[in-house]
Structure 1
Amino acid sequence: MPHPARRFAALVLSITACLPIAAQAAPPRLDPAPLAALEAAVASDEIKQVTSVLLLVDGTVAYEHYFNGADAQTLNDVRSASKSVTSLLVGAAIGDGHLPGVQARVYDYFPEFTAQHPVDPRLRGTTLEDLLTMSSLWECDDQNQFSAGNEERMYVTERWLDFALALPVKGFAPWMSRPEDSPHGRAHAYCTADSFVLGAVLERATRLPLADYAAQALERPLGITRSHWNRSPEGIGMGGGGTRYRTRDLARLGELVLAGGRWQGKQLVPADYIAAMIRPQAQTDDGSDYGYQWWGLKLPVDGKETTVWAMSGNGGNYVFVMPEKKLVAVVTSKAYNRSYAHPQSRRVLTGFLLPALR
């Protein structure tokens, strides 16, 4: 059997020959030992149900491997990592003039609803930014099974949009932080309905199905030729989850963010929007930062806690972006609803990929 270092070198050469994500330079020199350890951990089921790992450094593929029956053509169901793509689409729509900005009022896009339903004035002022930061005043919390807006309640209704727009005003029990007492002045609650309504706004603003606008604004310019977007029972594109992409195409989305929204000389998403998207706008219950549907995770990097911005979805699906290292890392996984899913995917980054760069 070939030495692990020679096997790794051959793998890198084969990858860079077939995957021009950006202008390819010589692949960075990596320590093969952590990568061999990663493959052994997956093979022994110490790391479970991971289907792909891809590492880009300075636009060049440094490592790519598929596991558990997946390959480069597999469309990965990245679940809530879809929310981060929806955020990019909001930015694209602002850049091309379909949306005026993040302060646009959500209910203004649904006059047929407001004509037939009384809306509390506090909710009537809900903005796109409120939804992007998951800090609207809707009583909606996916982490609380008793919440009126819990996503599981939405899924069993016939009209998801009416469900979301009719949500009541959130109350703040004595033990809950009010917006004015919360970091960044926003009381964050994870709410898939927020992301779904963002997709509905995009459809109204662009007059295109969400999947078609995604193809026009992001996917085709990035060279993404295959994807899948779900739709609600009433036919609205599902901006909150279940989108499917190939691993290499997820890497392209990460590269776009790393490049400040610019791709091959064209500004697909405004640079100032990208900067706001991966800047702390709210704080989650676990202490993570939250931008515009992107997570600012607190992870150990080079011996210290570091904020790493990421797309994140159920099952341990991630696209990590680290501008300071010019790095994008993708981990796809099918460990849906498993407690180990997120910790082990983060460990792939911090315990195997980053050590290989040293």
Structure 2
Amino acid sequence: MSSLPRSTPDDQGLSTAAIDAFVAAMDASAQEFQTVMLLRHGHVVLEAEWTPYRLTDRHLLYSVSKSFTSTAIGLAVDAGLLSIDDKAVSFFGPEDLPETVSDNLAAMTVRHLLTMSTGHDEDTVQRMTRDDRMVRTFLGLEVEHEPGAPFVYNSGATYLLSAILQRVSGETLLDYLQSRLFEPLGITEATWGSSQEGITFGGWGLSLSTESMAKFGQLVLQRGLWEGRQLVPAEWFEAATTKQVSNDREVNPDWHQGYGFQFWRGRNNTYRADGAFGQFILAIPDHDAVLIITSASTDMQATLNLVWDHLLPALEGKEVPAVPRPSRLELLPPSGPAPQGGDGRIYPFEQNPATLRSVRWDADGTALFTFDDAVEFVHTPNGWHDAGAQVVTAAHGDGDVFVGTIRWVDTPHAAEFRCRISDGQLTVDGELNVSFSPLKFTITSRA
């Protein structure tokens, strides 16, 4: 089966009006939603996209990736390649291990990696990514507490799971899942970034379409059973989505309901894979439902609150206020007068948070932006412009300022660049919609 079966909400025991009201609430929210899909009894009963985003495009999932890594470990355990009680250091040789292996590092197991209870004080990933040898860096970090200590979210631990999987299987994590998970599910578009040492990131970097996310969510809800075939042991998903460790120190209510094997527990007896800026695979087993959201959210708890306030009542069969679904869902391009003409010069920049290499603002009011990856985008006025490479752009003028907007539609990310020329230099005031770095920045071209 290449695609999931479609149905109407009413045929699956839901009110179409209530589902429309949920979409209307999403559209009216302060959060920026990009795509949504709802499965009920294994059928797609809601699929919506906010232009210029499309359900069929692959989307960068950030930490949703972790739940796929967990699944690969479950498959490897079932194949007899490892046990979750194996010591983490047992998979690595002297070239990766520190000269002295501390007692805490020696005690760390695959289980501790899966449950984010490695004994580290903080996430290790920022320190790891400063070095090309990420495995060696992780193993060389101080483990401040005995493993099994309180939950500390740790993307570096998931990277080490990927490295272990590669050691025991002889395949990268992505390749390992291709024949065992992605192909049986009919997922053909998966991409997954890897490190300079050739290891799939594991904790981040996976890109899938909205429907492929939904297939995985339905597989987990069905405890690994797909079209009569047990792709993943039911026992693995049962354990992975059950509370394995306490995470009471987390602040938001849907983030301190317990943590499994790279899955979060949530309120209302739910579990989920989630990723930065609002990427969700949310399973609602009490109502045989799976909800998929891709978004650019600055408040992921607010997104889940919206689900509990507007979708959960519909799943429970409660009457909800009738709010018509918008006839068109769209993230509108910024609008304004056509930009003034520029001087046609190329203005180069030093290294900067936006990875902007240069800007050329031409006399016809268009501008060419070049980034560190050598991708070039031409900004033209009048709505969204398809710039290729999964990018859309828009432009308008604000007096003597050229305002260019870029949306990387295979990610949550967008940016606005306000450009002005003065005294032979071009200054850019930039603002990002979501980022791990500051959202606003100012850069000036080299003299």
The TM-score normalised by the length of structure 1 is 0.80
In structure 2, the residue matched to 1:263 is 226
The structure where helix makes up a greater share of residues is 1
Query: Aligned with 1:112: secondary structure?
Result: coil
Cα distance 1:115–1:350, how it changes in 2: closer, same or farther (>3 A)?
A: closer
Read off the aligned partner of 2:245 and give its amino acid letter.
A
Is 2:194 aligned against 1:212? Answer: no
Pick the aligned partner of 1:159 from 109, 133, 138.
Answer: 133
By how many angstroms is 1:294 displaced? 0.4
Pick the aligned partner of 1:349 from 307, 310, 313.
Answer: 307
By how many angstroms is 1:269 displaced? 1.5
* Cα deviations by residue, 1:106-127 (Å, 9 ceiling, x for unpaired): 1111123466632113311311
By how many angstroms is 1:288 displaced? 2.2
Task: Please give the alpha-carbon distance, in whole angstroms, between the structure 2 residues aligned to 1:163 and 1:260.
Answer: 36
Query: Aligned with 2:84: secondary structure?
Result: coil
Cα distance 1:24–1:270, how it changes in 2: closer, same or farther (>3 A)?
A: farther
In structure 2, the residue matched to 1:312 is 274
Alignment of 1:102-251 (within 5 A): 102-113=84-95, 117-137=99-119, 139-142=120-123, 149=124, 151-171=125-145, 186-251=149-214
Read off the aligned partner of 1:91 and give its amino acid letter.
G
By how many angstroms is 1:23 displaced? 9.3
| CA RMSD, 1 decimal | 2.3
* Cα deviations by residue, 1:121-158 (Å, 9 ceiling, x for unpaired): 33113111100000012x2513xxxxxx2x22222222
Is 2:279 aligned against 1:321? Answer: no
By how many angstroms is 1:19 displaced? 7.3
Pick the aligned partner of 1:89 from 63, 68, 72.
Answer: 72
The TM-score normalised by the length of structure 2 is 0.65
Larger Rg: 2
Query: Aligned with 1:196: secondary structure?
Result: helix
In structure 2, the residue matched to 1:71 is 54
Is 2:259 aligned against 1:293? Answer: no
Q: Which has the higher contact order (CA 8 A, sep 6+)?
A: 1
The structure where strand makes up a greater share of residues is 2
Task: Please give the alpha-carbon distance, in whole angstroms, between the structure 2 residues aligned to 1:123 and 1:108.
Answer: 11
Cα distance 1:24–1:221, how it changes in 2: closer, same or farther (>3 A)?
A: farther
Task: Please give the alpha-carbon distance, in whole angstroms, between the structure 1 residues aligned to 2:264 and 2:62.
Answer: 14
* Cα deviations by residue, 1:237-257 (Å, 9 ceiling, x for unpaired): 100112111111111111111
Task: Please give the alpha-carbon distance, in whole angstroms, between the structure 2 residues aligned to 1:107 and 1:32.
Answer: 53
Pick the aligned partner of 1:62 from 45, 60, 64.
Answer: 45
Query: Aligned with 2:57: secondary structure?
Result: coil
- Any conservation in 2 of the 1:157–1:163 contact (CA below 8 Å)? yes
Query: Aligned with 1:282: secondary structure?
Result: coil
**89-98 or 24-33: which moved more?**
24-33
By how many angstroms is 1:316 displaced? 1.0
Read off the aligned partner of 1:353 and give its amino acid letter.
L
Is 2:15 aligned against 1:31? Answer: yes
- Any conservation in 2 of the 1:229–1:244 contact (CA below 8 Å)? yes
Task: Please give the alpha-carbon distance, in whole angstroms, between the structure 2 residues aligned to 1:159 and 1:111.
Answer: 13
In structure 2, the residue matched to 1:10 is none
Task: Please give the alpha-carbon distance, in whole angstroms, between the structure 2 residues aligned to 1:140 and 1:208.
Answer: 31
- Any conservation in 2 of the 1:41–1:47 contact (CA below 8 Å)? no
- Residue identity over aligned pairs, in percent, reads 30
Number of residue equivalences: 309
Task: Please give the alpha-carbon distance, in whole angstroms, between the structure 2 residues aligned to 1:202 and 1:309.
Answer: 24
Unmatched tracts of structure 1, length 5 or more = 1-17, 143-148, 172-177, 180-184, 299-305
Task: Please give the alpha-carbon distance, in whole angstroms, between the structure 2 residues aligned to 1:69 and 1:42.
Answer: 16
Unmatched tracts of structure 2, length 5 or more = 251-255, 318-447
